[in-house]
């Protein structure tokens, strides 16, 4: 069972704003989904190693040669706010 407090905690971890109504809806929907997913626990996985991806490749390396990259103006073209070729955001650390 997922309660409202858990929903709020997880939303905080994900930096996801939710309305009060969404908190209620997700509490009940996530509970139903997790109930259905719970059957995973019945599988005997002793001695089974986990699969993180299906590519069956490991450590594909390339030569360490510098490649041309995009000029800042191109990369900043979609930025919500910018100043002097930097991304602009509200202060993260305040002066005390």
Backbone angles phi, psi at 84, to 5 degrees: 50, 45
CB of 87 to other proteins, least distance (A): 6
CB of 88 to other proteins, least distance (A): 9
Helix, strand, coil shares, percent, the chain, to 5: 40, 5, 55
Using the rule CB under 8 A, which residue among 20, 52, 64, 83 binds other proteins? 52
CA distance 30 to 16: 15
Binding site for other proteins (CB under 8 A): 2, 6-7, 10-11, 13-19, 22, 26, 29-30, 32-34, 36-41, 43, 45, 48-57, 60, 62, 70, 74-75, 77-81, 87, 89-92
């Amino acid at each position: 069972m997922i309660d409202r407090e858990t929903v709020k905690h997880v939303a905080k971890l994900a930096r996801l704003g939710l309305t009060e109504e969404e908190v209620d809806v997700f509490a009940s929907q996530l509970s139903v989904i997790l109930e259905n997913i719970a059957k995973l626990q019945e599988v005997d996985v002793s001695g089974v190693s986990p699969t993180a991806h299906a590519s069956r490749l490991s450590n594909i390396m390339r030569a360490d040669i510098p490649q041309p990259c995009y000029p800042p103006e191109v990369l900043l073209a979609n930025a919500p706010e910018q100043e002097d070729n930097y991304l602009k955001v509200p202060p993260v650390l305040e002066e005390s």
